[in-house]
Amino acid sequence: MTDTIEHDLLIVGSGLAGLRAAIQAAKTSSQIKIAVISKLQVMRSHSVSAEGGTAAVLFPEEGDSIESHVYDTVKGSDFLADQDVVERLVHEMPAEIYQLEHWGMPWSRREDGRIGQRNFGGYSFPRASYAQDKVGFYEMQTLYDTCQKFDNIEFYNEWFTTSIIHDGQKFCGVTAIELASGTFYIIKGKALIIATGGAGRIYSYSTYGLSSTPDGLDMAYRAGLALKDMEFVQFHPTGILPSGILITEGARGEGGYLINKDGERFMKRYAPGKMELSPRDVVSRAMMTEIKEDRGFKHETGVDCLKLDLRHLGEDVIARKLPAIREISMKFSGIDPSNEPLDVRPVCHYMMGGIHTDINGATEIQGIWAAGEAACNGVHGANRLGANSTSECLVWGKVTGELAAKYVLENTPPPFPIHLVAAEEKRIFDGIFHGRGDVNPYEIKQELTEMMNEKAYVFRNEKDLVSGLKKLRELREKTWKHVDDQAKEYNTNFTNVIELDSMFRVAEVVLLGAIRRKETRGAHARTDYPERDDKNFLHHTLAYYDTKEPALKEHPVTITKYKPVERKY
């Protein structure tokens, strides 16, 4: 008999969206039992790595406006954002900034004592509220501290959730492995919020922590929920070499320059109005064009790159506003940015796509919501503007937390379909843990992630994408589903192979969506279809799980005020 635990509301994922949801649910009712389930210790969630800022209109009297933030976001999305969702984000964000402040968030300050805001790419006003360059860390600490004030929030640290159990209409529970003991559990619940973050580790050159594999997305996908817009992968212009660790956009927001081997600020050729502070897709394409036209540098590892120059900012500004960047640069590339430029190139940083939800974060199954980067509510369209992601986590953390708590109070779960637990146990224990194979799963993982770097990077084309898909399917056929380490306690070999299983399914959705979208829009740049095609592709892509291959469907974009026009910066 499988061990069983019961709670009212299950939140899988303990980053910004998960913690904000837990707080809001606990505030909505002190009667409901809330479980926050995380495969890590809470403060190791990848949200702590967010650096640059959280976008909100705080000072309309100084020239910023709600309308401007909405339009910047819609234009930044290359007109694929759902405009009603963008309006909700922008309207609700200022209150979230002040709410965090009341909970103890140490925002950086202007001379007059008001909250500091810096320039970020694609915005017409400095509206990225910041705390040095450690925004995510401070926000996480603030939310985690606040969670401790509620007796009805319980944390399950280092529990790996493997599947969602529902009866076809309504949510019933999840299955999970307690990593410390290796014990397999059923966790029953009336409602679920999926807040497991992005899938960036399907690329090997990536800003994501090693834990950011798509198990949460895959769990939803296998449960019959659609993944939406997965072809849109954001490449951040400034990943440090050789590790790919993020150098925040805040470095350019504070006045940093991008330069080529001729020493020129090349962005003047591509976006003379915004220069280095153009949206990320524009800057990444410009950088790869410079490299292709032989105006880049060669890093000592042989990789092509460009330089980010902060020297003119001066030691004081770097020490005061970008201390973590200086520390990262010195630790991971041996360079002090006060003295010499950094080697950078575009790096996988964010998934615009995720679990298909509506404006409230609700999925297609009753009692299940998704929030943060794991969700795709349509707010970012084809390209996210920097500083809107932490904002999204806060707003939809709050929204889903409240709705899920109210749902718990008003609904009773259906009879529990225990046969689904047996099927899941068979999949992960018979199929993986006790599986037998002659191929090293870690080598397969390396091949898969390097293939994604090569075939589905900043610029894409039919030939590369199709050969990438073929390679993925060949790798998947090899006998890698086996675990050499047969220990029960903390078996990372086991969890790594389960993660790899998820990576295959989600990477396949990314590639198929990219093949199907024969246009260039936002972060999806096709060299063989260089123009945006609103007539044929002004729609979201939905992917549903099928045993043969993902079933792709189209989903309309909500346009309220702004008709698509050409994007110029």
pLDDT tens digits, residue range 148-199?
A: 999 999 999 999 999 999 999 999 999 999 999 999 999 999 999 999 999 9
Strand ranges, E, within 76-166: 117-118, 128-129, 153-157, 159-166
- Is the predicted pLDDT of residue 540 greater than 90, yes or no? yes
pLDDT of residue 510: 98
120 Cβ partners below 8 Å, 6+ apart? 52, 53, 55, 126, 127, 128, 249, 250, 253, 277, 385, 386, 387
pLDDT of residue 128: 96
Distances (CA, A) of 141 to 7, 76, 146, 347: 25, 30, 9, 27
**Residue 338 · residue 297 · CB < 8 Å:** no
**Which active-site residues does the annotation give?**
236, 252
Q: State pLDDT tens for residues 296-329.
A: 999 999 999 999 999 999 999 999 889 999 999 9
Q: Answer yes or no: is pLDDT of 552 > 90.
A: yes
Look-up: residue for tokens 């998947």? 476
Q: What is the pLDDT of residues 490-507, one digit of tens each?
A: 999 999 999 999 999 999
The pLDDT value given to residue 441? 97
Cα separation, 175 vs 159, whole angstroms = 10
Domains of the chain: 239-346 (3.90.700.10), 419-542 (1.20.58.100)
pLDDT band at 2 (very low <50, low <70, confident <90, very high): confident
The H or E element spanning position 495 is helix 492-516
The answer to whether residue 1 scores a pLDDT higher than 90 is no
The confidence score (pLDDT) of residue 507 equals 98
Tell me how far apart the alpha carbons of residues 53 and 390 are, in angstroms, rounded to a whole number: 8
Q: If pLDDT is split at 50, 70 and 90, which confidence band does 28 have?
A: very high
CA 331 to chain centre: 25
pLDDT in tens, 431-447: 999 999 999 999 999 99
**Region 40-66 average pLDDT:** 95
Computed over every residue of the chain, the mean pLDDT equals 96
What does the pLDDT read at residue 150?
98
Q: How far apart are CA 470 and CA 305, in angstroms?
A: 29
Give me the torsion for CA of 415, 416, 420, 421, rounded to 10°: -160
364-390: per-residue pLDDT in tens?
999 999 999 999 999 999 999 999 999
Q: What share of the chain is helix, strand, coil (3-state, %, to 5)?
A: 40, 20, 40
Q: What whole-number percentage of the chain has pLDDT above 90? A: 96
- Report pLDDT for 159: 98
Residue 545 is encoded by which pair of tokens?
Answer: 């799980």
CA-based nearest residue to 11, from 275, 402, 416 = 402
The reply to whether the predicted model has a pTM over 0.75 is yes
Confidence of residue 271 (pLDDT cuts 50, 70, 90): very high
Q: How many Cβ atoms are within 10 Å of 415's Cβ, its own excluded? A: 7
- Confidence bin at 233 (pLDDT 50/70/90): very high
Burial 290-318, CB ≥16 within 10 A → b, else e: bbeeebbbeeeeeebbbbbbbeebeeeeb
CA angle (234, 527, 378) in 5-degree steps: 35
236 neighbors 349 (Cβ within 8 angstroms): yes
The DSSP output letter for 413 is P
- The pLDDT of residue 443: 97
CB under 8 Å to 47, separation ≥6 — which residues? 15, 16, 17, 136, 139, 140, 197, 390, 393
∠ Cα 313 318 320 (to 5°): 125
Question: Per DSSP, what are the bridge partners of residue 159?
Answer: 178
Tens-place pLDDT, residues 345-357: 999 999 999 999 9
- Per residue in 107-162, pLDDT (tens digit) is 999 999 999 999 999 999 999 999 998 999 999 999 999 999 999 999 999 999 99
The predicted pLDDT at position 544 comes to 98
Measured CA to CA, the distance from residue 160 to residue 176 in angstroms comes to 5
